[in-house]
Amino acid sequence: MSRVSRACAGRRRGQTGTVAKPPKLKVYRTPIGFHDAYVAAPSQKAALAAWGTDANLFARGVAEEVTDPVLIEEPLARPGEVVKRLRGSAAEQFAALPPDRPKAKRKPAEPDEAPSPKPAARREPPPKPKPDRARLDEAEQALAQAERRHRADTKALAEREAELARERRALADRQQAESAKLQSAVEQARAAYDRALEQWRR
């Protein structure tokens, strides 16, 4: 368990052992190498602790809060745990590497050695264009909209079910009261009939 997870767990329990309401979590992101490191934490300080740094990355502008529903889903499911995601393609990562060190000068050839022919300069291919993620953005947006609509439909159905349950209880109460009243009337009528029948037989 990370320090953020233990801190969150500790704040949920008071001195009397009762469970307190858990703090609201936010999702923060900072770049680490070729990855983006996400963490769900109750504060920026807790996020910095989860990343293992004492520097205020938020003040430096290298850390930020994330609200995209697709990006925050996994970190919220694993609060306090650092979730790394690869940033960019392999071609972009190789392009970001520092240039190679200059090679050591070759020892001049001895007088009796013929100079070796220089290899032809190899022309580097142009970098590939970055793939268009418009379709991915559109698909992610459609998914987020569908999930919001599903939650609204489920909530409306739950409200209808609760209303039907209340109507069912009210109907049962009315039916029970009416049945009890009619049963009392039946018993009274039967008693009166039995008395009249007894007098008729005498």
Q: Are 1 and 90 in a shared domain?
A: yes
Per-residue pLDDT of the chain (202 residues; tens, 9 = 90+): 555 555 444 444 444 444 556 678 899 999 988 889 999 999 999 999 999 988 888 998 889 999 999 999 999 999 989 989 887 655 555 554 455 555 445 555 455 555 566 666 777 888 888 888 888 888 988 999 898 999 999 999 998 899 899 988 999 999 989 999 898 999 999 999 888 988 998 8
- What residue has token string 């037989």? 201
Rounded to the nearest 10 degrees, the angle between the axes of helix 69-77 and helix 134-201 is 60
Residues spanned by the domain of 171: 135-202
pLDDT of residue 134: 83
Residue 128, domain member (yes or no): no
Laid out side by side, the sheet with 35-41 consists of: 64-66, 26-32, 35-41, 83-86
Q: Do residues 10 and 2 make contact, with C-beta atoms less than 8 angstroms apart?
A: no
Query: Do residue 88 and residue 155 come from a single domain?
Result: no
Kindly list the distances between the CA atom of residue 150 and the CA atoms of 13, 141, 147, 154, 184, in Å, as whole numbers in the listed order.
34, 14, 5, 6, 51
Task: Report the predicted TM-score, pTM, of the whole model to 2 decimal places.
Answer: 0.38
Residues 75 and 146 in one domain: no
How many structural domains is the chain composed of?
Answer: 2
Domain boundary among 94, 121, 145: 94
**Is residue 189 in a domain?**
yes
Residues 6+ apart with CB under 8 A from 24: 42
* pLDDT for residue 41: 94
Answer whether residue 106 is part of any domain: no
